Structure 1
């Protein structure tokens, strides 16, 4: 039986409502249309109060299958919770930085921009790499011929003008 659409799962569960005060943003492969059967739903939040964020997650998600939560102290890592909703693995990240500045959302926005500019050809090439087992950022990096750390290489595209991105895409996809 196929999984319900990720937005249906989020709506039915009430997760985004429960996290509303932490500015939740859904990211990752489902909103990009790059998900595979095992893909998860990522929710990125701003958690300036890690204890309140952890308590909110515990109260909401601890009854769900596979629930785990990790909260570190004084090392800058986000609070991370994992659990399952209607056949979907879910990961929720709470970092004290505003969501727009967090690497997870920055990667997501760059990938969305690349897909908008690269169209079907880019989507098909990235999906082929994903089917071969690559994670999303390494798949984009391979298709685009980016060298080095794929996460850093994608962030380097953030300030590149659209015209330059289109030239790069045309060179990679022809």
Structure 2
């Protein structure tokens, strides 16, 4: 917390394009780009206290860990490719 503002810091010891936070942003961008009503629904859930990834997973009916679930969804939908396949 900083001046009543919650901060979250996440990083991984790998190139940016392989980090989960970056992959989440790519997946979320593509989903929002292709579904104009999704943005307002995500914002509505965030106003209810959801974090971004759990909000997307709630709307996309992705169960389990939302951070891993969003990555798996992005792979399944062809938004991203599994990093191990290109390294």
TM-score (norm 1): 0.39
Counterparts of residues 62-77 of structure 1 (less than 5 Å): none
User: Which of 57, 71, 78 is the matching residue for 1:161?
Assistant: 78
Cα separation, 1, equivalents of 2:33 and 2:23: 15
Offset of 1:111 from its aligned partner? 0.6
> Which protein has the bigger helix share?
2
| Counterpart secondary structure, 2:73 | coil
SS of corresponding position for 2:35: helix
Q: Distance in 2 between matches of 1:142 and 1:94?
A: 24
Residue segments in structure 2 that go unaligned for 5+ positions in a row: 80-87
* Bigger relative contact order, structure 1 or 2 (CA pairs below 8 A, ≥6 apart): 2
Per-residue deviation, residues 99-149 of structure 1 (Å, max 9, x unmatched): 000111111111111111111x10011111000000000000111111111
The structure that is strand-richer by fraction is 1
Q: What is the aligned length?
A: 76
Match of 1:136 in 2: 52
Q: Give 5+ residue unaligned stretches, structure 1.
A: 1-65, 67-83, 163-174
Matches within 5 A, 1:9-158: 95-119=12-36, 121-158=37-74
Superimposed CA distance per residue, residues 71-122 of structure 1 (whole angstroms, 9 cap, x where no aligned partner): xxxxxxxxxxxxx8xxx87666553300000111111111111111111x10
Moved runs in structure 1, 4+ residues, more than 2 A?
88-96
Two-structure CA RMSD over aligned residues (Å): 2.2
